[in-house]
């Protein structure tokens, strides 16, 4: 049997019945595989200690091919991280599908989706890498915020305006409420995991439920009847205080007016 010549990087054979299938033991030479391999090595070794040669060898790709595609290590790193961010981001449509008639249940589902995402392998990988290079490459963190955080904040603010505002009165500070939700529900686990804290599924669920409940009790406008009752209580207490003050003044005046009369009565009796 005549042996087929080796294929060029990224060019699968188009001959024979096994066209398009990967040979056993031969790594794929796709660009996605290259970027995934690069990201893993950057995470494992750090940016400074990772080399194009090491990435090419791990990906089973010629070094010249990597240089041809990306030119230098920084460009390759940004491309790998950008792709990972785009794949990791939660689509807004998925958050919308979590909505129900029960606002607390809606926020709980959304919180669970976001927390699970940030604690996933992809989320942890991005968290460690962006924290490590944010000083050298602030545009990476900015890209992460622009692509992931900003759309989520906009969606949450809109959700709060739609579901929390009452009697046609717009909820004030909906944007700040959205940021507070992310900080409280998602930020805690994200920050703790970046310090090496490992959560059990029960701990994650307990934290999410508690945080959503705490947030919701703080952001919901108070019940109108309760507000009216509290205002009436304050007015009544003020009226009672004023009445007691007036009563004391009247008693003082009365006592002062009786003393001269008592003295006159004593004199006339003598």
CATH number of the domain bearing residue 76: 1.10.10.60
**246/234 Cα distance (integer angstroms):** 18
Q: Are 79 and 132 in a shared domain?
A: no
183 within some domain = yes
* Tens digits of pLDDT across the chain (270 residues): 433 333 334 333 333 333 344 444 444 468 899 999 999 999 888 888 999 999 999 999 999 999 999 999 989 998 998 888 888 889 999 999 999 999 999 999 999 999 999 999 888 888 888 877 777 778 877 877 777 789 999 999 999 988 887 655 567 788 999 999 999 999 988 888 878 888 899 999 999 999 999 998 876 665 555 555 666 777 778 888 888 888 888 888 887 776 555 545 554 555
Nearby residues of 80 by Cβ (< 8 Å), 6 or more positions away: 35, 36, 38, 39, 42
Range of the structural domain that residue 198 is part of: 90-219
CB atoms within 10 A of CB 175: 15
Q: Are 68 and 110 in a shared domain?
A: no
Please give the angle made by the CA atoms of 196, 52 and 84, to the nearest 5 degrees: 45
Are 189 and 116 contacting, i.e. CB atoms less than 8 angstroms apart? Answer: no
Q: Are 42 and 119 in a shared domain?
A: no
Q: Are 95 and 211 in a shared domain?
A: yes
- Residue 52: name the closest of 24, 29, 71 by CA: 71
pTM above 0.85, yes or no: no
CA distances for 251 relative to 76, 114, 179, 255, angstroms: 90, 68, 58, 6
Instruction: Give me the number of domains the chain comprises.
Output: 2
Q: Are 149 and 52 in a shared domain?
A: no
Please give the angle made by the CA atoms of 33, 39 and 45, to the nearest 5 degrees: 130
Q: Are 195 and 120 in a shared domain?
A: yes
Q: Are 215 and 120 in a shared domain?
A: yes
9 within some domain = no
Q: Are 100 and 70 in a shared domain?
A: no
């Amino acid at each position: 049997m005549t042996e087929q010549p080796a294929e060029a990087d990224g060019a699968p054979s188009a001959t024979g019945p096994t066209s398009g299938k990967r040979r056993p033991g031969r790594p794929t030479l796709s660009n996605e595989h290259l970027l995934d391999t690069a990201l893993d090595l950057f995470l494992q070794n750090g940016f400074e200690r990772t080399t194009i040669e090491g990435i090419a060898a791990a990906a089973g790709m010629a070094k010249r091919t990597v240089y041809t595609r990306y030119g230098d290590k920084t460009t390759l790193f940004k491309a790998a991280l950008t792709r990972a961010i785009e794949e990791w981001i939660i689509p807004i449509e998925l958050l919308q599908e979590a909505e129900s008639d029960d606002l607390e249940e809606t926020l709980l589902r959304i919180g669970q989706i976001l927390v699970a995402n940030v604690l996933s392998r992809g989320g942890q990988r991005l968290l460690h890498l962006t924290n490590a290079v944010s000083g050298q490459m602030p545009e990476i963190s900015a890209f992460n915020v622009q692509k992931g955080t900003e759309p989520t904040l906009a969606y949450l603010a809109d959700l709060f305006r739609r579901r929390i505002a009452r009697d046609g009165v717009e909820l004030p500070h909906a944007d700040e409420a959205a940021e507070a939700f992310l900080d409280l529900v998602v930020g805690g686990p994200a920050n703790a995991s970046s310090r090496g804290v490992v959560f059990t599924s029960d701990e994650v669920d307990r934290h999410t439920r508690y945080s959503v409940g705490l947030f919701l009790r703080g952001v919901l406008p108070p019940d109108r009847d309760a507000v009216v009752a509290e205002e009436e209580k304050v007015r009544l207490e003020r009226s009672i205080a004023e009445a007691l003050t007036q009563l004391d003044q009247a008693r003082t005046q009365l006592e002062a007016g009786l003393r001269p009369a008592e003295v006159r009565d004593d004199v006339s009796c003598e």
